[in-house]
Amino acid sequence: MFLHPLFLGGYSEELTAYMEETGLTPAMEPGDMDTICQKLDFYGLNFYNGLYDNADEQRRAAEGGNFQNRPEQHLEAVCDVLHMLVEDYGIDIPIYITENGVAQDDGPDREAILNDDERIAYVSETLRHVRRAMDDGVDVRGYYLWSLMDNFEWSAGFAARFGLYYTDYEKMELIPKKSAGWYRDVIRNNGFKEEAT
């Protein structure tokens, strides 16, 4: 819906047919697609989780992803998406991962929230797959983790904690989580050692 107009100058045949059948075709003026399909300086990709379709099976909700009723995690999909951008859409400009992270559910056990091994595992796994794409020649220039501190998250409100720093909303204090120190070292060392399994 977005990549075709940006990089190919129009909607796909499948989406066009669907929009016509369902009466969802947006109003367009002559020249709109030419205006949309301009050379960009870079492409920003927000990635949280891959979702896979299966016509024979409906997936049940489980932990993972970036929203409250989360499906299972498929972080390897970031490599697939990066390849798709280059191979299917001809992107020949730098790509930045402009948003990536995982939420923890809020709760009374602050220590469990501060000891956020799940976030470290999620980010390190995502970065491994971004590195795979880079090793394949995809021009990824940067990675931005969401987020520095816990905050108000759209429909999740204060229940989803995405931050490297725990936000005490009553005392207005920030407390570093385990992931804050880990990610500081990733930045400092421009990478991380993979743990032996």
Name the segment(s) of the chain with CATH classification 3.20.20.80: 39-189
Determine the residue type at 178. Answer: K
The CATH T-level fold of domain 39-189 is: TIM Barrel (3.20.20)
CA atoms of 190 and 195, how far apart (whole Å): 16
Q: What CA–CA distance (Å, rounded) separates 171 from 84? A: 45
Could you tell me if 43 and 85 are in contact, meaning their C-beta atoms sit under 8 angstroms apart?
yes
Per residue in 66-104, pLDDT tens?
Answer: 444 555 788 999 999 999 999 999 999 999 999 999 999
Neighbouring C-beta atoms of residue 36, cutoff 10 Å: 15
Given this model, what pLDDT does residue 55 score?
62
DSSP for 5-25? Answer: IIIISS--HHHHHHHHHHT-P
Calculate the average pLDDT of the chain. 90
Q: How far apart are CA 105 and CA 159, in angstroms?
A: 6
Q: Which residues contact 104 (CB under 8 A, 6 or more apart)?
A: 113, 116, 118, 119, 160, 161, 162
CB-based contact 179:164 (threshold 8 Å): yes
Judged against a pLDDT cut of 80, whether residue 60 lies above it is answered with: no
What does the pLDDT read at residue 63?
45
Residue 12 tokens read as: 């796909």
> Tokens at residue 84, please?
């798709």
Residue 148 has pLDDT above 60, yes or no: yes
pLDDT, position 155: 80
Say which residue, 65 or 44, is predicted with more confidence: 44
